[in-house]
Amino acid sequence: MSSDDELRAEVRAWLAAHWDPAVDRARWMAAVVDAGYAVPRWPRSAFGAALGDEQAGIVEAEFARAGAPGSGQDRTNLWANTVLTHGSTELRERLLRPLLENRLRMCLLYSEPGAGSDLAGVRTSAALEGDEYVVDGQKVWTSNAAGADYGMLLARTDPAVPKHRGLSFFFLPMDQPGVEVRPLRQITGEAHFNEVFLTGARVPRAFVLGEPGQGWRVLQTALAYERVALGQANLGAMTRAAGRGEADLAELARRYDRSDDVLLRREIARVFALRAVNRWNNQRAQAQLEQGSSSPLASLGKLSMSRIVHETGRVQSAIVGAQALLEGPDHPDGDDSNFASMNAYFTSIGGGTDQIQRNIIGERLLGLPREPEVDRDVPFQDVQHSS
């Protein structure tokens, strides 16, 4: 095994020889996967480099220093991580590399009009017919559904058992006649979310992750990686302008000649402190995920990021002052602060609502009593549902 210094020098030399911002992105991603740097913590048999967490962090740091994308997907690529953990050998061979090379567009088919926070109550059904499952139902709040190649689908395969035990988890091909996607307009004017209608859609039996009826367990893995990703990326406070990324609050305060405002300095420092604590928490959550558990710490990170993006939008608006009442290209800072404040609610919902994260933290981290679930042990077909 290489020492840290040897590994750092090796990665720097590889990047110097291969990375060029003008390189074809598809060719670059293939090279990163071939080198084992896309998922450095994974075994070599799964395109990884079999590194420990600290040395994998060195690889990611060198990629970040060079401004090169593609590394660290063993922490952030929820699609590939879920396939690696629960997929069959056939599914891994078919999907892992395209997922790591970003050649497949994906979406999440979880929430339904009557099953959002309580995902165990989904009513979309999947009935086995020969070597295929036939899927009927409706999903909602599905990001990127319109252009997706596959959707990670949670559906009910056995209504005669309690709700958590009759679920299965699928990779559903989206480009087929039984899938209809309708966009949902957001308060920001965008339409990232969709409702998806499934009518006789088909998914091969080989595209089940885990065993039939064990979909809840697979879902917990997928949700944990999604929450880690949401906890690490400030998705809710991204500005509308491509490439501008997260608002630099300190620089914004300097531009508005407000860097000496004691109250604003305290608010900005609080946001920076929240970000630092959240990074440490995410490192702890990632360590638990690598041990094969669905860490409840991911819920803490996801809830923290939700607070961070709301605080960032609030402080942004406070800095720009009256311009926060304006929007449009003639008022870019006001437009960005409004967008950040409104888009922050995405983070309060995506990956499980803030309220659900508080339940998980209370029950699994703090040891508080569980909320009563009167239907937990009742066969799903016998549970009363509102029409």
Which sequence positions are flagged as catalytic? 226
Residue type (1 letter), 109:
L
Cα four-point dihedral sign 356, 209, 146, 340: positive
Neighbouring C-beta atoms of residue 45, cutoff 10 Å: 8
Question: How far is CA 98 from its chain centroid?
Answer: 18
CA pair distance 159, 90, nearest whole angstrom: 28
Enumerate the β-bridge partners of residue 134. 127, 202
Q: For residues 317 and 335, is the Cβ–Cβ distance under 8 A?
A: no
Q: Please, what sign has the CA dihedral across residues 219, 144, 124, 306?
A: positive
φ, ψ (nearest 5 deg) of residue 246: -65, 140
N residues, the chain: 387
- The rounded distance, in Å, linking the Cα atoms of 173 and 102 is 16
Number of alpha helices (DSSP H) and beta strands (DSSP E) in the chain: 12, 8
Q: What angle do the packed helices 262-290 and 297-320 form, to 10 degrees? A: 160
Distance CA 320, CA 311 (A): 14
Residue type, 93: E
The residues, ordered by sequence, that sit 6+ positions from 132 with a Cβ below 8 Å of its Cβ are 202, 203, 204, 205
